[in-house]
Amino acid sequence: MTLLDSAVWGGKFYSEGWQDSATEQPVTEPATGDRLGTVGLASAEDVNRAAARAAEAQRAWAATSPQQRAAVLRRAGELFTEHAAEIEDWLVREAGSVRSKAGFEAGLAIGECFECAGLPTHPQGEVLTSQDARWSLARRRPAGVVSVIAPFNFPLILGLRSVAPALALGNAVLLKPDPRTAVSGGVVIARIFEEAGLPAGVLHLLPGDGEVGRAVVEAPEVRVISFTGSTPVGRAIGEQAGRLLKRAHLELGGNNALVVLPGADVAKAASAGAFGSYLHQGQICMTTGRHIVHESLVEEYTAALAAKAEALPVGDPARQDVALGPIIDRRQLERVHGIVTDSLAAGAKVAAGGEIDGAGYRATVLTGLTTDMPAWREEIFGPVAPVISFATTEEAARIVNDCEYGLSVGILGDVGTAMKLADRIDSGKVHINEQTVSDEPNAPFGGVKASGTGSRFGGATANVEAFTETQWLTVRPDIADYPF
């Protein structure tokens, strides 16, 4: 039996084993519309039962030795390695990933598990000074039950990057993947940890609609919500969490800038820009959504970028060797095209692309933009590269920061100039002589402004902060004397 044999998960959700669901949803291949299987959907009542059981199981899981928890995470990493080809196939067919993106995502999952295997034995607090004759400690304790809500675009890693550290640090998890990618973003994770020996009740897979999303936030046992997705939904979750006095870690949208400085190698810059804008059809929060190019290079850069865009084939990544696969669904495809056509109506010009191609969208370059046009202001979440020029680094900094988002910025060219520019930019991540899409399991990840609540993913420091609570503990040799 393969890891993802549908006989195990078909029509079911995972909560102390695979449970039959009263409601099912087809798993659809976006490139063809073909049915790949059927996933079971949870209800709000299922969530409430799972949350109660997770709270019970969490106490026993937190009490296990750090070595035992680390062993489960290491075994999960080994299983991801063993089943990488099968997992990549699902990422290609269900999420519309091209093969290289699927391999990159599976590799991130492997690295995430091995990185998180070190968390159980990571220092869990600090020794404080005290004015009294006692030991004073600030120690980190598991938060309890963590809800993880993940999107469709990088469904595996964007769920796992919260699930793995939360489990490693002694929490239980309720995982709600996007229903469009419930296998690659949910079933894969549940099956891996089931096979890795995670005790029953510690991880629950609960695919569903908005009602299920509200339930995994509002369940009284849940103390932390980790959400990756759109800014409007993130705002709503943040409001819910605030009202309920729960912590919400929100990784939201982006409209990321790539700055090309004077003197930059145009051929290399255009290659970086194409990768940043067109990887996974631009359906990445870190996608390069704004190309800000020095006026001395803008014509040459635009021509080079357009030539690359025209050469990138669009199609079905499961059956063809293509650079761009399908947009996740028709609604999003039409939204991408609508933003392009609205910008053209406002005066922008197409240098390449600008067309729907089957279930996908051709790699697009837009010029003649002003900063109030939709293609410049909005997060497109499609393979569209708007280009605008600048004259001075001061102007470049102003254009970069004139955006509601602040997730990722790339700066290409002279390092000294780039360093000075980086110090003036409001962004959670800055990459000098790289494009905007980058992620590593040991690196902090997060944005500012409408891109979220900061770096609460990646690396031991961020993960410990995200998924534990601080407890002050004092110890004295004898009972203290008091004046009463």
Residues 397-447: tens digit of each pLDDT: 999 999 999 999 999 999 999 999 999 999 999 999 999 999 999 999 999
pLDDT at position 456: 81
Q: Any idea which residues carry the catalytic annotation? A: 251, 285
In CATH, 6-252+452-473 is 3.30.420.10? no
The DSSP output letter for 407 is: S
Fill in the amino acid letter for 374. P
- pLDDT band for 1, please (50, 70, 90 cuts): low
Find where tokens 């049915």 sit. 35
Average pLDDT over residues 450-466: 92
Structure tokens at 108: 């991130």
CB within 8 Å of 411: residues ≥ 6 apart? 258, 259, 261, 418, 421, 422, 430, 431, 432, 433
Largest CA distance in the chain: 83
- Alpha-carbon Rg for the chain in angstroms: 24
Q: What pLDDT digit, counting tens, does each position of 53-111 carry?
A: 999 999 999 999 999 999 999 999 999 999 999 999 999 999 999 999 999 999 999 99
The DSSP output letter for 42 is: P
Question: pTM for this structure?
Answer: 0.96
pLDDT at position 457: 87
Q: For CATH 3.40.309.10, list the domain ranges present in the chain.
A: 256-432
Q: Partners of 24 in the beta sheet?
A: 40
Contact present, 385 and 273 (Cβ < 8 Å): yes
Q: For CATH 3.40.605.10, list the domain ranges present in the chain.
A: 6-252+452-473
Structure tokens at 478: 């004898």
Q: What mean pLDDT is reported for the chain?
A: 97
What fold is seen in the domain 256-432? Answer: Aldehyde Dehydrogenase; Chain A, domain 2 (3.40.309)
pLDDT at position 135: 97
Residue 142 phi, psi (nearest 5): -55, 145
Average pLDDT over residues 185-190: 98
CA separation for the pair 105, 101 (Å, rounded):
6
For the chain, how are helix, strand and coil distributed in percent, rounded to 5? 40, 25, 35
pLDDT at position 13: 97
Find where tokens 């939904």 sit. 233
